[in-house]
């Protein structure tokens, strides 16, 4: 199930309503996972690779909730 | 709550009271007596189910505070329960602290973790918050596995501190989840991350929806219904396997999620306000019955 949920991190990073965003965010997440996993595994715990996409979700949510290419919606509650 | 005819609330205390009329008190005492004498005559297995219902109820009430009353969708509740469970387990086993200390600390720990993951809720709403809580769930479980030990914008306009109330909602909701987790740890007896999956989180959200969001009665009905449904599936599965040998071999293990998904969909279509709403309609119906037009 975790593999399917990594797709969420791709769309969140790219922006939910943007096709180009998904195209660009996909390789970014993949590379971040592999490169980050490769560099961080000796430093931190083994298995950091699995958690990197979810940490990226949290970071994106805090910094830029609509992702890189998403449409910013100014909502009045 | 909807009161019987002729009873009015004249003070704030009366309006907020949980046990309002004498009937409420009598029923409450009787129910407590029933609960306390339950182990005398109930079989061990059903006693276990009752235990599970009680523990789940505490966590579900916490989730109800988050989703029903404050509108913060959270599909990461199993993670917060896990925090509580592991905190209680470590405190009582490794550090030999008494059970109650472990209980309170489990609640506080889960509440603090809930605060941390509730910070994004200030910036994001709705679907995005749900994704964040899913991510929170996975991060919590991953950390457990790898660690060596273990506002209403309208409200803001009116002057209520929205940030404070959102954080408070996360803290209280996850505090209750932590308490439930500590009880779960002591009841099961051993700790494994297998119980706290995303499926479990979704199960909790389903329980709240089936029971009724934003009511006190809702979680009770929802939790009882779903746990009994799970027990019912346990009985049903061998019967179905015996009755229909043509089905593929793994079919029976998929009946539970299928049934659960079907129940959630039916409830969302037919009765989105859950069992609690049906119960209130029923109560109004029998109160008004002789006066129907």
Q: How far is CA B293 from CA A24, A64, B4, B285, in A?
A: 65, 58, 20, 13
How many whole angstroms separate alpha carbon B84 and alpha carbon B89?
8
**CB contact at 8 A, B165 and B43:** no
More confident residue, B172 or A31: A31
pTM listed for this prediction: 0.77
Count CB pairs under 8 A between chains A and B.
56
CA distance B85 to B94: 14
* Predicted confidence (pLDDT) per residue in B178-192, tens digit: 888 888 888 877 667
Classify residue B254 by burial, with Cβ atoms within 10 Å: 0-12, 13-18, 19+.
exposed
**Residue showing tokens 């592999």:** A34
Higher pLDDT, B236 or A77: B236
A interface with B, Cβ–Cβ below 8 Å: 1-2, 5, 8-9, 12, 16, 45-47, 50-51, 54-55, 57-58, 61-62, 65, 75-77
Instruction: Calculate the CA A57 to chain-centre distance.
Output: 5
- pLDDT class for B149, splitting at 50, 70, 90? low
Could B132 and A58 be called an inter-chain contact, meaning their C-beta atoms sit closer than 8 Å? yes
pLDDT at res. B29:
93
Kindly list the residues from chain A whose CB atom is less than 8 angstroms away from the CB atom of residue B139. 51, 54-55, 58
> A7 versus B291: which is more confidently predicted?
A7
Q: Indicate whether B153 pLDDT > 70.
A: no
Identify the band that residue A26 occupies on the pLDDT scale cut at 50, 70 and 90: very high
pLDDT in tens, B62-81: 899 888 888 888 888 888 98
pLDDT at B230 over 70: yes
- pLDDT at residue B293, rounded to an integer: 58
Contact between B286 and B4 under an 8 Å Cβ cutoff? The reply is no
Q: Which two tokens stand for residue B27?
A: 């029923």
- ipTM of predicted complex: 0.75
Contact list, A54 vs chain B (CB under 8 Å)? 135, 138-139, 142
B134 touches chain A (CB under 8 A): yes
3 state SS of B24: helix
What's the confidence (pLDDT) of residue B155? 41
**Higher-confidence position of B207 and B242:** B207
The mean pLDDT of B217-223, rounded to a whole number, is 89
Measured between beta carbons, the chain A residues lying within 8 angstroms of B127 are 16
B124 touches chain A (CB under 8 A): yes
Confidence at residue A23, expressed as pLDDT on a 0 to 100 scale: 92
- Do the Cβ atoms of A51 and A36 come closer than 8 Å? no
pLDDT bracket for residue B150 (50, 70, 90) = low
Least CB–CB distance from A55: residue in B139, B147, B198: B139
Question: Are B286 and B268 contacting, i.e. CB atoms less than 8 angstroms apart?
Answer: no
**A32, A50, A63: which is closest to B119 by C-alpha?**
A63
In a mutational test of the A interface, the residue from B125, B128, B154 whose CB has the highest number of chain A CBs within 10 Å is: B128
């Amino acid at each position: 199930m975790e593999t399917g949920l990594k797709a969420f991190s791709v769309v969140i990073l790219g922006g939910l309503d943007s096709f180009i965003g998904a195209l660009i965010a996909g390789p970014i997440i993949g590379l971040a996972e592999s490169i980050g996993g490769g560099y961080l595994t000796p430093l931190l715990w083994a298995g950091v690779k699995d958690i990197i996409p979810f940490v990226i979700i949290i970071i994106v949510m805090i910094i830029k909730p609509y992702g890189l290419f998403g449409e910013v919606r100014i909502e009045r509650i | 709550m909807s009161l019987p005819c002729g009873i009015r609330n004249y003070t704030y205390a009366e309006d907020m009271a949980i046990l309002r009329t004498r009937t409420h008190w009598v029923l409450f005492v009787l129910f407590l007596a029933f609960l306390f004498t339950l182990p005398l005559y109930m079989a061990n297995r059903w006693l276990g189910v009752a235990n599970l219902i009680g523990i789940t109820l505490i966590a579900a009430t916490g989730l109800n505070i988050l989703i029903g009353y404050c509108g913060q969708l959270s599909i990461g509740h199993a993670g917060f329960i896990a925090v509580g469970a592991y905190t209680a387990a470590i405190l009582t086993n490794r550090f030999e602290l008494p059970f109650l200390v472990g209980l309170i600390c489990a609640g506080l720990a889960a509440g603090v973790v809930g605060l941390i993951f509730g910070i994004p809720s200030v910036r994001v709403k709705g679907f995005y918050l749900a994704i964040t809580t899913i991510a929170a769930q996975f991060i919590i479980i991953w950390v457990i596995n790898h660690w060596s030990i273990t506002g209403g914008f309208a409200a803001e306009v009116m002057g209520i501190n929205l940030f404070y109330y959102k954080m408070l909602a996360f803290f209280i909701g996850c505090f209750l989840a932590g308490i439930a987790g500590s009880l779960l740890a002591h009841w099961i007896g051993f700790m494994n991350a297998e119980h706290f999956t995303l499926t479990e989180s979704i199960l909790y959200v389903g329980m709240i929806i089936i029971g009724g969001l934003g009511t006190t009665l809702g979680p009770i009905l929802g939790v009882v219904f779903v746990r009994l449904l799970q027990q019912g599936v346990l009985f049903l599965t061998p019967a179905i396997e015996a009755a229909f040998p043509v089905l593929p071999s793994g079919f029976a293990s998929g009946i539970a999620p299928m049934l659960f998904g079907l129940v959630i969909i039916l409830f969302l279509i037919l009765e989105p306000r859950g069992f609690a709403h049906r119960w209130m309609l029923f109560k109004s119906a029998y109160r008004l019955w002789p006066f129907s037009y």
